Structure 1
Amino acid sequence: MNLPDNAREALEAFTACPGWEQRARLLMQWGERLEPLSERNETDRVHGCESQVWLVGAAHDGRWHFRAASDARLISGLLAVLLARVNGLSAAELAALDITDWFTTLGLSRQLSPSRANGMNAVVQQMRRLSEAG
């Protein structure tokens, strides 16, 4: 699997955790790494998430860079490991990405409640819409 550096770092960190408690703590630490969003506009809000999530994205030389924020610490962590995997991808790579496989590889999928999984899928769908429009 050809991974961006941040995604490789996430993979190494999460696979080294022996259990869910350690992964949850690590997720919250990753959430603190999110680049802050100075403005949280309704147009940037991701619908389909129980928690409030905002997403912005821009392409540079055909590669996408996203920033996201949430009002929930665990969701912020999930967003951080998602961004680690998707930032730097082209629109075509983003369209082909299996995000469920990414969370499974990190050992996080079993602990994703259906509402959290739906929320992460809503974030990925919004990323894809932005990249197709961009």
Structure 2
Amino acid sequence: MKKLSFILFAASLICFSCSNDDSTTQEEDTAKLESLYNDVITYSKVNTESCSNPAEWGFVKMTDSPCSATGGYILYSKKATLSVLEKKIEQYNAHKAYINKKWGFLADTPPCTQHNIPSGVKCVDNKPQLSFENVLH
């Protein structure tokens, strides 16, 4: 009987901890989204690590914004664990989709046919930058 009680307690705890809080304000939801974004950027080390060797850097898809200057990709130092970074990006995108639906926000960009896919990373003034060289549009 104790096992059953523990299982029911654990299951209810999981259900309540995973539910979205619809009582939050738009400002609270937006602040959380900004916090998640800042967590991604901080973990990527893009603003804290200098770039002297492009091989020490990678890029990963962050958002579905193919019309943006970066094509929706962000840079990350290979000192960061990619699987952890991808999990943080997943959390950011899930919350973004949630608040877009909750508050009726429109998509970031209009549909477009241009798809900027980076060809690599280059170091400019000790800062990493996405390279779009030899990209056909």
Report the TM range for the smaller structure's normalisation. Answer: 0.3 to 0.5
TM-score by length of 1: 0.33
Query: TM-score under structure 2 normalisation?
Result: 0.33
Q: Which has the higher helix share?
A: 1
Larger radius of gyration: 2
